[in-house]
Chain A
Amino acid sequence: MNRKEALSSFIQQIHGRPVVVKLNSGVDYRGVLACLDGYMNIALEQTEEYVNGQLKNKFGDAFIRGNNVLYISTQKRRI
């Protein structure tokens, strides 16, 4: 299944990289992706929580429950 390979290689490749995790609520978490599972549960390191673009909180480590996740993004530029 070729279409799945792109996904799984992306998942392998983003470990240890800085990511932005956006939740359905609109809240953003920026941090280093420690790991990810099939439910899109995520462990982040050096996590910063942004609400409406404003830094609201910092966590050393954070577990994010996958059902809240809208997307995981690498390298972000904002217009």
Chain B
Amino acid sequence: MSTMPVSSSTLLPLELVDKCIGSRIHIIMKNDKEMVGTLAGFDDFVNMLLEDVTEYESTPEGRRITKLDQILLNGNNITMLVPGGDMPE
């Protein structure tokens, strides 16, 4: 790899995720599911360990909410990560 003149302001995408460890994070999945939880850790595939999670699913009967203590979330179906744990609208 050539040494790029990395300015101190550039941040690798995963470094941003790393900065979220210990805080609330909002995750948007491919299949319209959303999760909010405290990020405890993640790996190179962005599989994530989350705590005190709320899962939001939209079903024909309306939105379903599930509370989970601790989950290992498969990174495969993640589309977006939003720092901060605001409720999805």
Contacts and interface: CB of A to CB of B under 8 A. Distances in A.
Chains A and B touch each other in the complex, with CB atoms below 8 Å apart:
yes
Interface size class of A (residues with CB under 8 A): 20 to 34
A4 B66 contact: no
A34 interface: no
Interface class of chain A by DSSP? mixed
Chain B interface size, as a band, is: 20 to 34
Nearest to A14: B72
Contact of B70 (A40, A69, A74): A74
Contact of B77 (A10, A24, A79): A24
A74 B53 CA distance: 11
B16 interface: no
A76 B77 contact: no
A3 B41 contact: yes
Contact of B74 (A6, A14, A71): A71
Interface of B: 18, 21, 29, 31, 33, 40-43, 47-49, 53, 57, 65-74, 76-77
Given A3-B18, A3-B42, A7-B43, A72 B66 contact: no
A78 B41 contact: no
Given A3-B42, A7-B43, A10-B49, A71 B73 contact: yes
A6 B65 contact: no
Contacts of A66: 74
